[in-house]
A = this chain, B = another copy of it.
Amino acid sequence: MKKAVCLLSGGLDSATSLACARAAGFETYALSFDYGQRHRIELDAAARVAAHLGAAVHKTIRIDLRAFGGSALTADIAVPKGRRTEQMCAGIPVTYVPARNTVFLSIALAWAEVLGAADLFLGVNAVDYSGYPDCRPDYIAAFETMANLATRAGVEGAAHFKIHTPLIDLSKAGIIRLGLSLGVDYSLTHSCYDPADGLACGQCDSCLLRLAGFAAAGVPDPLRYAAQSPGAVKG
């Protein structure tokens, strides 16, 4: 059975991406990061999702990106709340973590090479890449090229590394429909950037996009929220 390393934050997108890897017939090696994120509670969700979706192994690697800061997720910068879609799409948001996906994919590449795996799965998608540079298709292609020059396996031809992004063209509603068709239990996931007392805030960009996605998919979000914005975006 071919092995794939799957980045798993514990959120809706990465859970769906992991389910896609399983559906494609891979034995999955789930990888999470304890990187100093404000919403560290997502790591509990990652462990639940990895077990639920039958990952062969789940590893959590510590890497202190808070040592550098530079983001609302890794420094004392407020997480924006109650923004409308047009505000979210106007430029790269303050929740962007400098070079985060590059750091995560690099570490995933290291594990893949040791495992003898050539396939990596990442849950980036169209909603993200309007805002985050390291979720865009041209970035993913450039990482793939670099990865095949960076490694013994790539250079010697034992592996041709491929970054799979099964959600890249999907809306949030499309991701939810796909995940439900693959048996993903979204009650196990966590999306909020700024949770309190274990509850999602219902007001940050991530909560608003998730709520709008469930509304557009026509299914209820199984999560509990501290508050639900009356001005929640429509998906």
Contacts and interface: CB of A to CB of B under 8 A. Distances in A.
A198 to B, nearest CB: 28
Nearest to A59: B67
Interface in A148-163: 149-152, 154-156
Contact of A62 (B62, B101, B134): B62
A68 B134 contact: no
A32 to B, nearest CB: 12
A113 B133 contact: no
Contacts of A98: 109-111, 113-114, 151-152
B146 A139 contact: yes
B138 A149 contact: yes
A147 interface: yes
A142 interface: yes
A235 interface: no
A187 interface: no
Nearest to A140: B149
Contact of A155 (B65, B114, B133): B133
Of the candidates A100, A145, A146, the one having the most CB atoms from chain B within 10 angstroms of its own CB is A146
A61 interface: yes
Given A59-B67, A64-B62, A92-B156, A133 B110 contact: no
Contacts of A150: 99, 101-102, 133-134, 139, 142-143
A192 to B, nearest CB: 23
Interface string A92-105: 10001111111101
A174 interface: no
Contact of A99 (B59, B69, B97, B106): B106
